[in-house]
Structure formats: C-alpha cells, structure tokens
Amino acid sequence: MLCAAVIPGILALLRVWGDMVAMADNMQIGLPFSVTVLKFIIMWFHKKDLEPVINMIVKDWLRTKTVQERDTMIKQARIARIMVMFGCTMMTLACIILIIPPCFGYTTRYLTNLTDPGRPMLVQTYYLRDITETPLYEIVISAQAISILMAAISYTGIDTFLCLLVFHICAQMEILKERFLSLNNFKDFDIGLSFNIKDHLRLIRLY
C-alpha cells in the first residue's frame, strides 16, 4: 500500500501543488490512505496493550450473568453490529466505485497531464518511471486495487473494533449502574458493594 498508493500519491500531490481541484482530487483518496497507515502502525505497536482488553471482553461474555445483564450486553452489541454493517457497506460501495468503473474506461477522478499523461490510474499517483505500457500498467492497476481493498479493510476494521469496544463498555457501565441501584437486594451489603467497586476499578483500569 505504501509503495503502490501512499508514496506515489504524495509525489503526485507535490506535482499538482497550486491546482486546488487537482489537490482536492488527490487528498480525497490520499488522506484516507495516510490515516489508514497511521492507524495500522499505532494499533500494531499497541497490540500488547489491546490484548488484555480483548481478553476481558471475552471473559465478560463467557462469565455467568443474569438475564437482565445478558439482555443489556446483547442490546448494545446489536447497536454495534448495525454500525459495523453500515461501515462495511459504505466501504464496499467506495471500493466498487473506485475500482470497477475505470476497468470499463470510466473514471470519477479529475485527470491532469501532470499525473495522468497516458492511461489513467485508479488513484492520483506519480511514479518515477513510465508505467503506461503493458504489462507495467496492469501490474500497477492491480497493486492499486489491492491497496484500495487493504485500506478499506484496515480503515473500517480498526474503526469497527473501537466501535465494538465503546458499546461493550457502555453495556458494562449500564450493568454496573443497575448493580449499584440494587445493592439492597444482596444478602450481604458489604460483599455486594466490594464486588461492584472491584468491577468499577476493572473497567477504569482496562478501558
């Protein structure tokens, strides 16, 4: 993705600098690509920090729960699922619009002689050598298509993971609130209060 789209996209941006339309055309794809790379790097370097969070989510689902607690978690999970499906649908449509029409000679891009002297690319890029001849053109087009798919999966995947995490926290906080409100139902008030405080500290520490 770096070699096929991000770095060539930055080179293309430098070539069209000053042309606002061409710059906007570049950045509408270049910025999401760059953000995706940054997200991936950040998540990769913090994967050890995320491991206990993921383990805690699994434990929350596997531990014994009341019917009300289970319903609360399912309710929040369904909201998260809707948002995940919406995000995946939007990214799928974006990939189709970016990849399929150029295969039939149509493009939604703003073409310039500075970055598209011959056959147009899927995204605005500039390479240090001529890639308009076969088979280089087909190889680069395929690399850009793969880059678009990878960027869409990474961009959506990270965001949807954080979305799931937020809604899981919401469910746990809602469960904790209900427990605090029903402390009088515990046989031993002190034990119930101690359990809820430990659970609260667990949520604060991990999330």
Domain that holds residue 53: 1-205
What kind and span of H or E run contains 206? helix 189-206
CA–CA separation, 51 vs 46, rounded Å?
9
Task: Tell me the CB-side half-sphere exposure of residue 124, using CA atoms within 13 A.
Answer: 27
Total domains present in the chain: 1
Q: What is the pLDDT along the chain (207 residues), one digit of tens a residue?
A: 777 778 888 888 888 888 888 888 888 888 888 888 888 889 889 888 888 888 988 988 998 888 888 999 999 999 999 999 998 999 999 889 888 888 777 777 766 666 666 677 788 787 878 777 888 888 888 998 999 998 898 888 888 998 999 999 899 889 888 888 877 777 777 777 777 788 888 888 766
In sequence order, which ranges of 46-135 are alpha helices (DSSP H)? Answer: 47-62, 67-103
CA–CA separation, 203 vs 84, rounded Å?
23
